[in-house]
Chain A
Amino acid sequence: MELKGRIISRGIAKAEALVTLQPISFYGGVDPDTGIVVEKGHELEGKSIKGKILVFPNGKGSTVGSYTLYRMKKNNTAPAGMINKECEAIVAVGAIISDIPCVDKIDISKIKDGDIIQLENGVVKISRFHV
């Protein structure tokens, strides 16, 4: 399956998808040293976003979250790529300054946990090996 979106941050990435339908706050919501989601009650709480194609509707919370993404990139705990339903300023700026490929305007309900995603300049290729 192939989906076409809008490029937020250029680049190529291929990795396993981690999907949530809840917005993510990177500042305070994700531990930048481990890549683990720590926001209480978040459906990804306890899961690591490191090296994944992180699929979520949009970011939320403090604008410091852009720096958190940059910090994760430097710590090797950042996601390999990000796919949003509707990107906003925190994630967009974070993705650009950290060189994390990012695309939005994607129907994220079509992507499932564990799908192998290839992200290439606005095009999302989905391979599913599991049922």
Chain B
Amino acid sequence: MYLTREERKMLDGEEGYAVKKSMEILVALGEIFGAEKLIKISSVQVAGVSYHNLGDAGLEFLNELAKDGKVKVLTTLNPAGMDLEDWKKLGISEDFAKKQNLVIDAFRKMGIIISCTCTPYLIGNLPRYGEHIAWSESSAVTFANSVIGAMTNREGGPSALAAAFVGKTPCYGLHLEENRVPDVHVDVKVDLEKFSDWGALGYCIGKEAENKIPFITGIKDASIDELKSFCASVVTYGSKPLFYIKGLTPGSEKQKIPKEKITIKNEDIREAYENINDDIDEINFVCIGCPHCSINEIAEVAESLKDKKILPNVEFWVATSRPIKQLADVRGYTKIIEDAGGKFACDTCLAVAPLKGRFKAVATTSAKGCFYSRGTNEMKTKLGDIKECVNAAVSGRWS
């Protein structure tokens, strides 16, 4: 890989330990994936924030980098393992909170915005079409590539940090137009009736288009919230972090329809629900907001919860970013949700909080949330729209 004189100096350690280590990471990745050079990026999203996933070693690694590492571009942070201000109400232990705060301190020292959200594009880290960025967090990567048309590979936590310290990333993979060509045509012949159908559709397409870039036809309309949910699901269940929807997403007008064709039908969606939903009726955890809720989704939760009471033995979370919660405060949604017995889980979510062993079964609007609840947190799962989840919260049962 070609390095400029300036980049070589960074690799030799002239800008200190964090930059040197970062250059080693970027050069190794560039060599492996055949990059010819490094390219400038305009923003970074860093995953690997929850102490639950990092452990003491991860914390130690971050502290090493924080000694002399300062980010060179706009850098935002993925959710942490707890609400940073009000972790006690979420049942987080004192020990965990202490460690989580040390992780956050390290990131703060690096100059990173402590945004703690998987939807950075909703709160001010919004790239433009065609812009090169280095993001981790698979749902955000997929949203940036597909809905915005920015260009990023699916980074891991350390490689995203490395890009932030250098301000560059190796130019390979989805940074090159020739690698953004779709390779499978997915014709959707489905009546998308409710919100969670988008998660189910993501499940179907992710499984069918494993490690491929889908070109999707047959979808006439989609809201940003529906696309956000679809992004999280399709990449969790197997596709590359890029898709095109004909007539809806940028670049779809330029791409040719691939020869390989898959058709998704109503029975596939039914089957997806059968696979995602466990055979269980009793629900003791409900979480809305994976990816983090937009203000529209919170409005719908508040509307559904008005004059209702969540059962005392059901934990109800609205997972969102702090800036969006502030909008909800102003609109009065927070009060309605909290009066009904619900809690706001800012800065965190059901995928990264330490929840193992706490709840038997979760109801959620997120197909991605179901995947992680089953895998890492060993919960039974039910996927539905906001109304169905609210019903489960007030009755304790899935119906």
Contacts and interface: CB of A to CB of B under 8 A. Distances in A.
Interface residues of B, number: 25
A74 B60 contact: yes
B53 A67 contact: yes
A71 interface: yes
Nearest to A94: B158
Interface in B20-37: 21, 24-25, 28-29, 31-33
Interface of B: 21, 24-25, 28-29, 31-33, 47-48, 53-58, 60-61, 136, 154-159
B373 to A, nearest CB: 15
* B interface majority secondary structure: helix
A9 B48 contact: no
A97 B21 contact: yes
A9 B158 CA distance: 15
Contact of B28 (A9, A63, A74): A9
23 contacts: A8-B28, A32-B55, A63-B48, A63-B136, A63-B159, A64-B48, A64-B157, A66-B157, A66-B158, A67-B48, A67-B58, A67-B61, A70-B58, A71-B56, A71-B58, A87-B32, A88-B32, A89-B156, A92-B25, A93-B28, A93-B156, A93-B158, A104-B32
A9, A87, A92, most chain B CB atoms within 10 A: A92
Nearest to A88: B32
Contacts of A70: 57-58, 61
Contacts, number: 71
A75 B60 CA distance: 12
B158 A97 contact: yes
Contacts of B32: 8, 87-89, 92, 104
A93 B163 CA distance: 13
Closest A-B pairs by Cβ, 8 of them: A63-B156, A71-B57, A74-B57, A67-B58, A93-B158, A92-B28, A70-B57, A96-B24
